[in-house]
């Protein structure tokens, strides 16, 4: 190992090979569910250094097959499925891409931006906005997550209803393969029908096939106006009906549609009273809608008011408020984004990031709520998420007064089985936007078809035959 570490220091510089001191920023996952022990944390400065590091590790693994040396690529380390931190073997290299943080180019005519994988998402957004363009990928961790991590996990967020996941926004990638070669696919072309579309292999692969070092992403013109409304709805069925009305009234202007259950909002009200949650006490669900208009604020407000009037007449909305300015808009979105933080304040919980066809969400919620209540009397359900694209964060909190850590220890396998079986019964997915990581890798074998799993394993074997890249995540190597 000392020989390998000496070679890695020669590549990236001794000061960027970290082996002692407090490494928790790289070795502890965001949810604090896992604390690893790396051989070293590496911080390369550019794509060439990443490629040289991979080549060195690959050569060492071939020469010393029992060494266990492998690479864990890492962006902002904000993932929720323990997919970007090392295990406790002391044999894994954490390869942090945070020094690869330049916006390389913005092509106004082509409506694209090319940036390093280590760029903070918010930095990319602000750079594009300063040039008069919208980069629409938006999520709660945007102040610390990175572009490469967003692509490696195919991140979703609050704008998917209009713009799609990270995959739909990506036109090209630069990738270091498991052999240490550099594939430059940063063309920015919207049409390129020359064989397999390799970028789609790496997007969502969670660093198990190669390391994304840069990407070319789609942009859009800045909207002329953005308006936000908060609506109280009498049921999850009513929320789905409101979504249909919003599509008809706003069309492509509907850029956000979030649903939040009453208990989820009660936690925000309890732990962050300064946020002043509206309308939550008298409604089982509230909805946050965003309307982006390319004409004017007056036009946007007219369409929004027509939508809400129709919704009130139809009975799918009981009350609503429209933000009057940017400060009010930001306050409403802060309430939505504070739900996970309020959950953390309440105590450890069992998180689920699931998707179900929108038409089946009401039946899924009713059935699964009942199954959990029967299995665990007093269980509390924190149900919120991106209803506009069928993605719910259907989280489970311990009964009031019960020790949260003990609840997880005793009930997490049972809760996961109930929720995942129900998701499968309603034609859904056990992971909508967070990925598989190590937390769900064993579950995947039960909820993915054998044919799909076989194809995934074949791809892993073909592109990473020595299992160098992020082993133990997404696909289980032990069954090869």
- CATH 3.30.70.2190 location in the chain: 225-340
Question: In what side-by-side order are the strands of the sheet with 17-18?
Answer: 17-18, 40-42, 92-96, 70-74
- CATH 3.30.70.2740 location in the chain: 347-425
The CATH number fitting domain 2-98, selected from 3.40.50.2000, 3.30.43.10, 2.60.40.10, 2.40.50.140: 3.30.43.10
Per-residue pLDDT of the chain (480 residues; tens, 9 = 90+): 789 999 999 999 999 999 999 999 999 988 777 889 999 999 999 999 999 999 999 999 999 888 889 999 999 999 888 889 999 999 999 999 999 999 999 999 999 999 999 999 999 999 999 999 999 999 888 999 999 999 999 999 889 999 999 999 999 999 999 999 999 999 999 999 999 999 999 999 999 999 999 999 999 999 988 999 999 999 999 999 999 999 999 999 999 999 999 999 999 999 999 999 999 999 999 999 999 988 888 888 899 999 999 999 999 999 999 998 889 999 999 999 999 999 989 988 999 999 999 999 999 999 999 999 999 999 999 999 999 999 999 999 999 999 999 999 999 999 999 999 999 999 999 999 999 999 899 999 899 999 999 999 999 999 999 999 999 999 986 644
pTM: predicted TM-score of the whole model, two decimal places: 0.93
Architecture of domain 225-340: 2-Layer Sandwich (3.30)
285 neighbors 262 (Cβ within 8 angstroms): yes
135 neighbors 124 (Cβ within 8 angstroms): yes
Please provide the DSSP assignment of 277-301 as one string: --SGGG-SEEEEEEEEESS-HHHHH
- CATH 3.30.465.10 location in the chain: 103-221
Q: How far apart are CA 285 and CA 302, in angstroms?
A: 25
Q: Which of 13, 84, 69, 20 is nearest to 45 (CA)?
A: 13
Q: Which residue matches tokens 């790396």?
A: 38
Q: How far apart are CA 277 and CA 476, in angstroms?
A: 43
How deeply is 151 buried, as exposed, middle or buried, from its count of CB atoms within 10 A (0-12, 13-18, 19+)?
Answer: buried
119 neighbors 102 (Cβ within 8 angstroms): yes
CATH number of 347-425: 3.30.70.2740
CA-to-CA separations, 203 to 18, 97, 172, 222, in angstroms, rounded: 28, 16, 10, 26
Instruction: Provide the CATH topology of domain 103-221.
Output: 3.30.465
CB count, 10 Å around CB of 317? 26
3-state secondary structure 5-72: HHHHHHHHCHHHEECCCCCHHHHECCCCCCECCCCEEECCCCHHHHHHHHHHHHHHHHHCCCCCCEEE
Could you tell me where the DSSP H helices lie in 31-178? 47-63, 121-130, 147-152, 160-163, 166-169
Q: Which of 136, 358, 336 is nearest to 226 (CA)?
A: 136
**CA Rg value for the chain:** 23
Residue ranges of E strands in 169-224: 170-177, 182-185, 210-218, 220-221
Written as six digits, the tokens of 57 are: 């590790």
How deeply is 124 buried, as exposed, middle or buried, from its count of CB atoms within 10 A (0-12, 13-18, 19+)?
Answer: buried
């Amino acid at each position: 190992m000392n020989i390998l570490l000496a070679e890695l220091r020669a590549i990236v510089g001794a000061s960027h090979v970290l082996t002692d001191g407090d490494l928790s920023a790289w070795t502890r996952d965001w949810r604090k569910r896992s604390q690893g022990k790396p051989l070293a944390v590496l911080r390369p400065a550019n794509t060439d250094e990443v490629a040289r590091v991979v080549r060195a590790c690959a050569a060492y693994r071939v020469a010393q097959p029992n060494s266990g040396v492998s690479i864990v690529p890492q962006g902002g380390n904000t993932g929720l499925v323990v997919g970007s931190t090392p295990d406790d073997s002391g044999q894994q290299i954490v390869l942090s891409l945070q020094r690869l943080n330049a916006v390389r180019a913005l092509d106004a005519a082509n409506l694209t931006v090319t940036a390093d994988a280590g760029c903070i998402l918010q930095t990319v957004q602000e750079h594009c906005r300063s040039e008069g363009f919208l980069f629409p990928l938006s999520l709660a961790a945007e102040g610390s997550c990175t572009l490469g991590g967003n692509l490696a996990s195919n991140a979703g967020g609050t704008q998917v209803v209009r713009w799609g996941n990270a995959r739909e926004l990506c036109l090209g990638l630069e990738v270091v393969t498991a052999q240490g070669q550099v594939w430059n696919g940063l063309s920015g072309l919207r049409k390129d029908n020359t064989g397999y579309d390799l970028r789609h292999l790496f997007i969502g692969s969670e660093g198990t096939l190669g390391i994304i070092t840069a990407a070319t992403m789609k942009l859009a013109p800045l909207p002329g106006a953005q308006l936000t409304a908060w609506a109280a709805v009498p049921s999850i069925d009513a929320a789905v009906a409101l979504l249909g009305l919003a599509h008809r009234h706003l069309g492509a202007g509907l850029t956000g549609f979030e649903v939040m259950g009453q208990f989820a909002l009660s936690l925000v009200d309890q732990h962050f009273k300064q946020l002043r949650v509206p309308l939550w006490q008298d409604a089982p669900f509230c909805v946050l809608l965003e309307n982006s208009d390319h004409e004017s604020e007056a036009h946007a407000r007219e369409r929004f008011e027509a939508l809400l009037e129709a919704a009130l007449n139809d009975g799918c909305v009981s009350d609503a408020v429209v933000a009057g300015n940017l400060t009010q808009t930001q306050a409403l979105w802060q309430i939505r984004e504070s739900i996970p933080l309020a959950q953390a304040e309440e105590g450890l919980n069992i998180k689920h990031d699931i998707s179900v066809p929108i038409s089946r969400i009401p039946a899924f919620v009713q059935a699964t709520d009942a199954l959990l209540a029967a299995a665990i009397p007093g269980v509390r359900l924190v149900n919120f998420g991106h209803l506009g694209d069928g993605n719910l964060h259907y989280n489970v909190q311990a009964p009031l007064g019960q020790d949260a850590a003990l609840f997880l220890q005793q009930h997490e396998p049972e809760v996961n089985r109930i929720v995942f079986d129900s998701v499968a019964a309603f034609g859904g997915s056990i992971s909508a936007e967070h990925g598989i990581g190590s937390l769900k890798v064993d579950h995947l074998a039960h909820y993915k078809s054998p044919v799909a799993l076989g194809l995934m394993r074949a791809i892993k074997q073909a592109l990473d035959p020595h299992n160098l890249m992020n082993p133990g995540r997404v696909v289980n190597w032990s069954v090869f």
